[in-house]
Every structure is written in C-alpha cells, then in structure tokens.
Structure 1
Amino acid sequence: MMGREVTVMTAGEGSNGDNQVEPDPDLRNFGEVLKASRKRAGLTQEQFGPKVGYSVQYVASVEQGRRHPSVRFVSKAEEVLDAFGVIQIAAKQLTRRRGLASWFRRWAELEEVAVALSTYECRVVPGLLQTEAYARAQIQNVPPMPTIQEADDRIARRLERQELLTRTPYASFSFIIEQAVIERQTGGPAVSLELIDHLLGCARLPNVDVQIMPTVSPEHSGTDGPFQLLETQENEWWGYSEGQKTGRVISDPKAVSSLHQRYAKLRIQALNPTDSAGLLMRLRGSL
C-alpha cells in the first residue's frame, strides 16, 4: 500500500498568511533535491523514513525546506537512495552558506569577488575584523537567543569570511569604526583586550586600513548609519546597507555615488591609520 505525503506546519503558520514562515531558499533547494532523489527511487516519505531511521514528519520537514538536515541524515539518504553523490553535493552547498542571514548572502557572494571593500560601522566591529570571543558575545547578546548550533554556525561562517583579508592576490580593505564600539567592551574587558590586539594586527596587514572615528566628532558624514562599498574584478561598484533583520544590496549608480561621497568624507573626518593605532593602544591600556 502506498503511503501518503505529509505537510508539516511550523510555528507561526496558520490561516493568517502574514504569519507564515518562508522556507530558506537554500534549505528549500536541498529539499527539492532530496525529494527528486526519493521519487526516482520509487519511495514515499513513509517508506523512506524508516530506511534512514527518521520519522516521516522529519523527512517532510526537510523536503519542505523547514529543517536543516543532520549530517547523519544526509549520509543515510545518500546511501539509501544511491543518489550518485547529488545529495552530498547539495548538502555541501547548504553548509557553505549556513550561518549567514538570508539578506546578507548576496553581499557575501560579492565579497568573494571583490578587489576593494570599504566599511563604515557605528554598531559593532565589522565581521571581517571580529575575534571568535567577540563574535560569540555579540551574537548571544541579541534576542531571540540562538541555539548553540546556530551560534556556532554563525561564528564559523564569520571567521571563514576573514580569509579574504589575507587571500592573494590581495584585495584592498578600508574600515572606519566608531570609537564607542570599542569602548562598549562587548563581552567584557578580556574580550575587548583580545579584540584590540586583533584589530592592531589586522591594521598591520599591507592591504588593510583601520581608522577610528573619535567619539567627539562635530563633523560627521555617517549619521545616516553604517554602510559598505565594494568593487568587483570587473570594476563594478556596489553598495550595501543593513538594519534590523534586513539588508539591501545597492546597484543604482546614483545611490552608490552618494555612498562614495560619504565614505570619502568619513576617511578625512576619522583619525588616520597611525593615530587610530595610537588610540587603540590607549584604549588597551585603560582596560
């Protein structure tokens, strides 16, 4: 007797369409690969579940893109379905992007092909410059609290992105960070001490400039908030701005030009790299 396909309802999903949870596109893609492989093998969800040791509800949730598959599940699914490595490949792609917010993924892709990246930050130390301890403290301070696995995924992906700083041929990096971000001591004095040492180390890289915007800055071109600028290998320029649970990649030339003008002003208004290093050393001494 053929089994039935199962639809799994998730938290927040119901009659009100505004409250439905949209599946992550990468999870959904993995789910579609799994479903196609299962159907090629001639199995229903109810037949497939026991073969891999998972419930039909678990299988349905993965296929709908509402649950991240475990490593064991991926391995068993590949074995049972004899999928010629397709499921494993889809899982690797999923893992590569795991830990990145959905609205940030396009910008992360552009980072991979950047020859120049400029960042102004007034909220937190930019992810490309964070230490593991600082990243963990920052992530765990922002509700809703992530699970241990979610926090580990975000931190791992953030640290992985930092390889861009030392990848050759070098890309050019410029960072302008508000002094108050360092003085906040996210995670406590010990975390801040390690962070400052890390910033000083990054600033010594031949392709990285780190500038600090003093707390007292009567002239300040960044009062509209943080943003980034990026140049690709094809010499195309892109911008990026981010807010609460949102991010926007900016391609309009006029809008990107405005960000260029603001960043040029900010570089003049911030302390130069040498004076910035001196300020970081003084902040270190005060801890």
Structure 2
Amino acid sequence: MGNPPSPILLKLGAAIRRYRQAGGLTQAQLAQRVTYSEGWLSNLETGQLRPRREAVGSVEKALGLPGGALMDLYDLLMEETPPGWFRPWLEEERAATAFRSFEPMVVTGFLQQEEYARALLNGDEAAVAARLERQEILTREKPPTLRCVIDEMALYRQVGDAGVMRAQLEYLVSRVSPLITVQVVPAAVNPHRGGGFTLATVDGGEVAYVETAVRGVVTSNREDISVLSHTWESIRTFTMSQQESVEFIKRVVAERWT
C-alpha cells in the first residue's frame, strides 16, 4: 500500500521547483543557500517531506520571492487536518476489526482523554476534535478489539499537569474490558527501542501504521507486517499481565500523580 502525500504538499513542492528552475538554480545550489541537504530539498520538491515554517521562509527568501509566494501555500497546509499522509490510515482504521498497538512514550490515541490530547497536541482544537472522533469506533455497534501495550515510561512522562496525568491514567484503567486490554512493559526489559506502531486487521489481512520522526507510514507490505508482528510478539513476551498492569498503573497514580 502506498502512502500518498498531501495535495497541498505536492503543490508547495511543485511551486518551489518551478521558482528554482525559473531562477536558474540547481537543487544543490538552492540547498546550499538554505543550509539544508540536497536530499532534503529533493524530498520537499516531490512532496515527500512536510517542512517547518521557518524552512519554507528560508526557501522563499533564498529564491528572492515576494513575501507570501510560498508561505500562503504553507498556511493552507497547516490548516489541513488531518495531514494528507494520515488519511489512508483513517480509512483502514474505520474498517478494522482488531488492533494491536504499541506506544513507547504516550498513551495510545484510542484511549486519550480530551485534556491529555489537548496538552499533547499543543491546544490544536481541530486536531483534538479529530482524535476524539476517531475514538468513536470503539463504541460503535460492533466495535473492534483493541490490544494495547505501553512502555512504563508513558506513565511517567508528564503531559499537561499532574491532574491531567492522574485523570488520564485512571481513565486508562477504567477502559479495560474483554474488548480492550492495556498491558505495561517494563522499560528495563522492553526489547523494542523504536517508535510506536499499530497493526490493524482489515478484511482478514493486516495493515500497519508506523510512526517516524517526520510522518506516519501506512504499509501492508508482507515483509513489513512480518517484522512488526514479530516485534509485537517480542514486546508482549515481557509485558505484565492485565491484572498486574492495572495494579501497576494505579500505583503510579498514587505515587506520582496524586
């Protein structure tokens, strides 16, 4: 499965390429002017990279463009919720009958309370509303199963104030049911040092969403799924039982967030 970039991101990249070529610059020359790598600029021009605002400003300035020539497109990109690259996963998410989720640093988005999500998303109300809307699949007439594993560090990493953390962890415990399991893997023995990922069962097959430093990746490649399934099982080997996990979370609430 591919992971198509945002149409607006493609337009921004095409505009940069067009202005660069009109100015008689190679990718290497423009990259040098903005002090980024040629590979970075190539990914930007092909819509494969979501840049920061200051980077777009630097490109605009380096090309000698009037203010807003590129920034106006970037502002449209920032209004895009969810990002274009995330939309294929939303389609798979809605059709899934089962999820296996691992999170190393935060509570899974499926089980985030509103205030926790708001603090995590820096007050972006559109993003908060979108995240809460996604959670509705867990309460539909035929909800999917959700098997969550979180690294214990997610219980200690403060998001918002102590009250937000306390409410979030208490909510996490309250959601445990035959359809929703939450297990904790001790950080000292967690064999996976990478980012979070989710495996979804869709129409009898498996699709995965993998978090990276730049964007999320959606894949149904057999080798990718095999690696992630193996990683999931490796992590599960070291998790506490469901009851042990619930007791551990309650203990963290009492000792750390009360």
Counterpart CA distance in 2 for 1:139 and 1:254 is: 32
Bigger radius of gyration among the two: 1
> Secondary structure at 1:16's aligned position in 2?
helix
Query: Deviations 1:235-254 (Å, cap 9, x if unpaired)?
Result: 01112211123121121112
| Structure 1: gaps spanning 5 or more residues | 1-8, 23-60, 69-94, 141-147
**Which residue identity is paired with 2:125?**
D
Contact 1:99 1:156 survives alignment (8 Å): no
Aligned in 2, Cα 1:16/1:202: closer, same or farther, shift over 3 Å?
Answer: farther
Measured after TM superposition, the shift of residue 67 of structure 1 is 4.0
Higher RCO (C-alpha under 8 Å, 6+ residues apart) = 2
Matches within 5 A, 1:205-216: 205-216=177-188
Provide the residue aligned with 1:119 in structure 2: 101
Residue in structure 1 matching 2:249, options 273, 280, 285: 280
Query: Deviations 1:174-217 (Å, cap 9, x if unpaired)?
Result: 111111111112112100011011101111x3300101111321
Counterpart CA distance in 2 for 1:135 and 1:65 is: 24
Counterpart CA distance in 2 for 1:16 and 1:244 is: 27
Provide the residue aligned with 1:225 in structure 2: 195
Matches within 5 A, 1:81-96: none
Counterpart CA distance in 2 for 1:191 and 1:126 is: 15
Contact 2:105 2:157 survives alignment (8 Å): no
Query: Deviations 1:23-79 (Å, cap 9, x if unpaired)?
Result: xxxxxxxxxxxxxxxxxxxxxxxxxxxxxxxxxxxxxx99x89749xxxxxxxxxxx
Provide the residue aligned with 1:270 in structure 2: 239
Whether 1:176 and 2:158 are equivalent positions in the alignment is no
Query: Deviations 1:63-122 (Å, cap 9, x if unpaired)?
Result: x89749xxxxxxxxxxxxxxxxxxxxxxxxxx9xx6322222111110000011111111
Aligned in 2, Cα 1:21/1:235: closer, same or farther, shift over 3 Å?
Answer: closer
Contact 2:116 2:168 survives alignment (8 Å): yes
Whether 1:198 and 2:171 are equivalent positions in the alignment is yes
Provide the residue aligned with 1:76 in structure 2: none
Whether 1:247 and 2:216 are equivalent positions in the alignment is yes
Whether 1:16 and 2:20 are equivalent positions in the alignment is yes
Residue in structure 1 matching 2:85, options 83, 103, 106: 103
Aligned in 2, Cα 1:21/1:133: closer, same or farther, shift over 3 Å?
Answer: farther
Q: Compute the RMSD of aligned alpha carbons.
A: 2.9
Counterpart CA distance in 2 for 1:241 and 1:169 is: 25
**Which residue identity is paired with 2:140?**
R
Counterpart CA distance in 2 for 1:122 and 1:181 is: 6
Counterpart CA distance in 2 for 1:21 and 1:225 is: 25
| Structure 2: gaps spanning 5 or more residues | 1-10, 22-40, 48-70
Counterpart CA distance in 1 for 2:154 and 2:111 is: 13
Aligned in 2, Cα 1:67/1:262: closer, same or farther, shift over 3 Å?
Answer: closer
Contact 2:106 2:157 survives alignment (8 Å): no
Measured after TM superposition, the shift of residue 170 of structure 1 is 2.5
Counterpart CA distance in 2 for 1:101 and 1:272 is: 36
Measured after TM superposition, the shift of residue 16 of structure 1 is 3.2
**Which residue identity is paired with 1:255?**
D
TM-score normalised by structure 2 residue count: 0.69
Provide the residue aligned with 1:27 in structure 2: none
**Which residue identity is paired with 1:214?**
P
Contact 1:99 1:155 survives alignment (8 Å): no
Counterpart CA distance in 1 for 2:116 and 2:20 is: 39
> Secondary structure at 1:187's aligned position in 2?
coil
Counterpart CA distance in 2 for 1:168 and 1:207 is: 13
Counterpart CA distance in 2 for 1:282 and 1:128 is: 23
Measured after TM superposition, the shift of residue 21 of structure 1 is 10
Counterpart CA distance in 2 for 1:103 and 1:256 is: 19
- Identity, % of aligned positions: 26
